[in-house]
Amino acid sequence: MNYLGHAVLSFEDEQILVGNMMGDFVKGSVALMQYPDRVRAGLMLHRKIDSFTDQHWAIGEAKQIFRPNYGLYSGAVVDTLTDHFVANDAELFPTQGTLAEFAADVYQKLQRQRSYFPERFEPYFESMVQHNWLLGYRSDTGLRRSLNGLMRRAGKIVEVDTAYALFRQNFDTMHQLYKAFAGDIIRYVKVELSLDGTGT
């Protein structure tokens, strides 16, 4: 999952959200110690989500679609494409307006917690807000922009037109795989955040 997925899986907790969203920019265990407990929990949640995602059978099947062309980067491609399904998930966002409201709320929450941003996350946040990445995942234009952004960040990906074409050719299969994955990851994170009603 990419930024939208991590935002959704923060379940509106502001400090969990900031940790979850900047998780790729805080590495190792020592770096975690500079943050307050709830931000640190968000950083750890990001790692747990990534690990769960990497090991899920449905994501594994989705990666196989892209592996011949993208090798080890097939996971990064699938992460980006998964957010398109999140953005168009009618149970999460019945309309474009509900996604737009969610995106605006996420940006406001992150702005309030900006003092915790690692330096390298700052330009990503600026671009995220300026170009409204979270809303952009819903459209083909925004999805293609996200794939191009992935290409710029990952030096060994030389083109993403093939990824987009494969996505379109395998859309129905990937949608079914997303639905199999989404329920599992939501249940997993609710347990991790003790939102499952068990009180654990």
**Which pLDDT belongs to residue 196?**
58
Q: Quick check: is 198 in a domain?
A: no
Nearest Cα to Cα of residue 143 among 157, 129, 131: 131
Residue 62 belongs to domain spanning: 3-192
**Which pLDDT belongs to residue 198?**
46
Q: Quick check: is 54 in a domain?
A: yes
Residue ranges in the chain modelled with pLDDT below 50: 198-200
Q: Quick check: is 87 in a domain?
A: yes
**Which pLDDT belongs to residue 91?**
96
Q: Quick check: is 200 in a domain?
A: no
Contact 140, 165 (CB under 8 A): no
Q: Quick check: is 197 in a domain?
A: no
Q: Quick check: is 42 in a domain?
A: yes
Contact 86, 137 (CB under 8 A): yes
Q: Quick check: is 12 in a domain?
A: yes
Contact 99, 134 (CB under 8 A): yes
CB atoms within 10 A of CB 141: 9
Counting the structural domains of the chain, the total is: 1
Q: Quick check: is 129 in a domain?
A: yes
**Which pLDDT belongs to residue 1?**
86
**Which pLDDT belongs to residue 78?**
97
- DSSP E strand stretches across 14-171: none
**Which pLDDT belongs to residue 200?**
40
Instruction: Give Cα 51 distance to the centre of its chain.
Output: 13
**Which pLDDT belongs to residue 165?**
97
**Which pLDDT belongs to residue 154?**
82
